[in-house]
Amino acid sequence: MKYMLLICGDETAAEHANDGCGGWTEEMVARGVLCGGEGLRPPMEATTLRVRDGELLLSDGPFAETKEQIGGYSLIQCADLDEAVEIASKHPAATYGTIEIRPLWQPPHA
């Protein structure tokens, strides 16, 4: 099953971005569970898009009513949620931010 790890943190999390993942990426590649991932540019560089009643609405920055913002993501493939939790718990961002684990929609097997 594929899961997306959404790496979230407040403004102070950006200072950890230059530290990299402290060997986490290499370990997960060696295990064969990491399918991809990237860090994101700062929230102030975001553009938020909505369409309401046929009208395109654009806003500078993120549209979030929270202090935490998504700073990056990792896409993993593993057996189940228990393994996804184990993998996410080893990510350095878990020590200073939040990691949301979300299963991806997968079509039913034919």
Each residue's pLDDT tens digit, 69-101: 888 999 999 999 999 999 999 999 999 889 999
Q: Is the pLDDT of residue 1 over 80?
A: yes
User: Among residues 27, 43, 37, which one has the least CA distance to residue 5?
Assistant: 37
Sequence-separated (6 or more) residues with CB below 8 Å from residue 78 = 1, 3, 33, 84, 87
What is the share, in percent, of the chain residues with pLDDT greater than 90? Answer: 53
Phi-psi region of 51 (alpha: psi -120 to 50; beta: other; left: phi over 0): beta
Determine the Cα–Cα distance for residues 26 and 67; give it in Å rounded to an integer. 30
Domain ranges of the chain: 2-103
Q: Is the pLDDT of residue 15 over 70?
A: no
**What is the reported pTM?**
0.80
61, amino acid identity: G
Determine the Cα–Cα distance for residues 49 and 47; give it in Å rounded to an integer. 7
User: Among residues 1, 8, 27, 25, which one has the least CA distance to residue 99?
Assistant: 8
CATH number of 2-103: 3.30.70.1060
What pLDDT sits at residue 14?
63
Determine the Cα–Cα distance for residues 82 and 80; give it in Å rounded to an integer. 5
CB distance 101 to 5 below 8 Å: yes
